[in-house]
Amino acid sequence: MNEVVIVVAEAVSALGDNRSETWQRLLAGESAAAEVTSFSSTPYYCKIAAEIKKLDSRPQGTSRLELLLKQLFRNLPATLPASCTLNGSTLKGAIDQQEQAWRTPATTSENNKFNEFARPLPVMAAELVAENFSRNHPGLLINAACASSTVALNRAASRIAAGFNDSILVWAAEIISEFVFAGFASIKALTPDTCRPFDKDRNGLMLGEAAAALLLMSSAKAEQEGFTPLARISGWGIANDAVHLTAPARDGRGLIKACHRALKRANLEADAIAAINAHGTATIHNDLMEISAFTELFRKNSTRKNIPLHSVKGALGHTLGAAGALETTIAINALSEQCLPPTAGLIEPEIEICDQVSHKCQNFSGEHLLLTNSGFGGVNAALILSKS
């Protein structure tokens, strides 16, 4: 089996135009939470999100997603190896263009309005990525709810390890739109004030915008192309608990299984994990599920009882399908610097993990970091990043 390495990792978030700026502002404890400006939040009980404000000023007919991807492209190599294929994740693509088409019937011809709805929105995003890198095919699009890009990274790592591909670019991008905002508001999933992952008084998630891309290669291909690896993907796993349309299994059974599969693939025991990047949405049931899963995984199977963990969603918002890719770029920095950023919004953590999560930076020592994401429909995905 081939060793899988990450050779390029970049991101655009509500805290920065690139991975470095995002990382530095996370370390400083900043949060991008602010009043929504891309549409009127008057009808909704929630008024905040982690928007990328510069996307507000865009030409008529241009999607926020297009501008977001163009900013991401500026951070990436201009060309990719000829053998490199594309794996993408976006749950809603340029959905703001559809909203705009519906809201401007006087200026939108019936034919153009039909075209806006006839083309699948994620495909439109994939075509932009393919065009930027002069590819004739948009590649694979993966939709696994809020674990989408983590599943995409799983698949890419699996194919490279097995020798089916030597390089794959995994990208993900999500914007905030009123349609999606209204949907989460309708199920009372949004916080009306502050997003507080793993806090006793958490009351909901905050939506965010981001784009991220990671170039995965076999170690042999990376050496051939002259890349210095940023990290290895040593383990990966996916599982589905399938108990509810929007809620996770309360005991964390699906997440536990995904993590066990990642550990087995990496040939590691649980006590090899030095830190955890948790999904940490700040909804009541998600955070309790993760606490249950990590307790089962580590306090019962590891000599390391208090493994530090964090969530970035209090600072960057929940970026849905882009969450895993965005958080992987952050986890690379965390592993390199042996430091987890603060969990923004946290005041009083749940008692079970009060010695594992903090509103301050947490130093750790070790070779391996576990990253997890979960989504609607019961999907769970895990990655183990290791020092290169």
d(CA 374, CA 270): 20
In this prediction, residue 118 carries a pLDDT of 47
User: 119 vs 364, which has greater pLDDT?
Assistant: 364
Contact (CB, 8 A) for 347 and 313 = no
pLDDT 10s digits, 135-180: 999 999 999 999 999 999 999 999 999 999 999 999 999 999 999 9
For residues 199 and 341, give the distance between their C-alpha atoms in angstroms, rounded to a whole number: 16
The answer to whether the beta carbons of residues 180 and 205 sit under 8 Å apart is no
H or E element, residue 12: strand 4-13
Q: Output the six-digit token pair for 218.
A: 């076999």
Bridge partners of residue 309, in order along the sequence: 276
Residue ranges covered by each domain of the chain: 4-225, 233-386
Q: Which stretch of DSSP H or E encloses residue 121?
A: helix 121-132
- pLDDT tens readout for residues 34-79: 999 999 999 999 999 999 999 987 776 678 899 999 999 999 999 9
User: Is the model's pTM score more than 0.85?
Assistant: yes
Which of the listed CATH numbers 3.40.47.10, 3.40.50.1000, 3.10.290.10, 2.40.280.10 matches domain 233-386? 3.40.47.10
The two three-digit tokens of residue 166, written as one number: 């030597």
For 257-277, write each residue's pLDDT tens digit: 999 999 999 999 999 999 999
Q: What percent of the chain has pLDDT over 90?
A: 81
Domain 233-386 in the same topology as domain 4-225: yes
| 4-225: in CATH 3.40.47.10 | yes
**Above 70 in pLDDT, residue 94?**
no
Model confidence at 107: pLDDT above 70: no
Sequence length of the chain is: 388
| Residue 102 reports pLDDT greater than 90 | no
Q: Identify the pLDDT of residue 114.
A: 44
155: closest CA among 381, 386, 320, 330? 381
What's the mean per-residue pLDDT of the chain? 92
C-alpha distances (whole Å) from 256 to each of 232, 251, 263, 291, 373 are: 22, 9, 11, 11, 12
Nearest CA to 168 out of 142, 140, 143 is that of 140
Distances (CA, A) of 308 to 110, 171, 240, 244: 55, 28, 25, 29
